Amino acid sequence: MADVALVPWEQNAERAPEGVRAVVYDGEGEPPAEAADAVLYVVPYGRGQRLDVMAGMPRLRAVQLLTAGYEHALAALPDGVALHNGRGLHDASTAEHAVALMLAAQRELPRWALDQTARRWAPHYTRSLAGSRVLIVGHGSIGAAIERRLLPFEIEVVKVARRARPEQGVHPVADLPRLLPGADAVVLVAPHTPETEGLIGARELALLPDDALVVNVGRGPLLDTGALLAEKGRVRAALDVTDPEPLPADHPLWDAPGVLVTPHVAGGSAAFYPRARRFVDAQLRRWAAGEPLANEVRAGG
């Protein structure tokens, strides 16, 4: 008898390998009756992940998330069930948005959008990305994806991670005070941990040259919002994540000078879906072949 897997997309069901019976559950409403037999549950992607439904899956052995973050799932995970995350699936989308934010800030795309609404043709010279030195803070797979995309823009990339990796030219985060005064832009893509909270605060912002740009596609609390506001536009920012998040309508960040905000959309673009579907296909093939699934973050029992 084939193992039942709950998958979020019809395409995965169509391409399921022999030995796996893939049943679609997209997270809307209650799971199908087959959930009672499910051994593998691929949690549908979206805001409000349906983790509660695992209570109705007594035969469950493995859960696959499509997000990189998995802390939220640990509490709901039944004993003995393995957990796998979606590390890497959002890299292309997030890296693309990071570059989009940098170009938007340098080439003043928000201004042109507002001018278009006002039917106003008013060209002027802008900043550029070319010729700048960019610090990428957090050099995991998304940081590397951002670096690859930035390099052809005639810029210099300086890589910073928790620990130095001299053979890859990666500086330790302790070097930030020495590196910030020479940076035209700083891209934050580190995870949110006690160590990284407030990584860029008043002291770090003060070290940046006038008109430098801070880009945050990591997590809101990496950057101290109050300290950024206190800069009053001396240092600019392009933020896909904020602290607090979502940003309340009356928050001063919305119209702070030199600040550009997008509402946490870096990872959520069309670039994600083909990658996520291919990854689910590959996990089902591994399951059918009796191989270990990729991206395990908690072992089963």
Q: How far is CA 212 from the centre of its chain?
A: 23
Min CB(291)–a second copy separation in Å: 27
Find all residues with CB under 8 Å of 143, minimum gap 6, and list them: 136, 137, 159, 161, 187, 189
Contacts with a second copy, 92-131, as mask; x by CB under 8 A: xx--xx-xx--xx-xx-xx-xxxxxx-xxxxxxxxxxxxx
CA dist., res. 195 & res. 197, Å (int):
6
Decide if residue 194 touches a second copy (CB under 8 A): no
Amino acid (1-letter code) at residue 41: Y
What are the backbone angles phi and psi of residue 289, rounded to the nearest 5°?
Answer: -85, 0
CA dist., res. 145 & res. 120, Å (int):
37
Positive or negative: CA dihedral 157, 245, 52, 193: positive
Residues near a second copy (CB under 8 A), total:
56
Please identify, among the stretches 26-34, 61-69, 215-223, 271-279, the one whose residues bind a second copy according to the rule CB under 8 A: 271-279
Decide if residue 234 touches a second copy (CB under 8 A): no
Please identify, among the stretches 75-83, 162-170, 265-273, 286-294, the one whose residues bind a second copy according to the rule CB under 8 A: 265-273
Decide if residue 264 touches a second copy (CB under 8 A): yes
Residue with tokens 């800069």: 231
Contacts with a second copy, 44-73, as mask; x by CB under 8 A: ------------------------------
For a second copy, give the closer residue by CB, 126 or 193: 126
What are the backbone angles phi and psi of residue 116, rounded to the nearest 5°?
Answer: -65, -45
Q: Show which residues are catalytic.
A: 219, 245, 264
Closest CA to 186 of 242, 146, 221, 229: 146
Binding site for a second copy (CB under 8 A): 92-93, 96-97, 99-100, 103-104, 106-107, 109-110, 112-117, 119-131, 148-149, 151-154, 246-247, 249-251, 254-255, 260-265, 268-272, 274
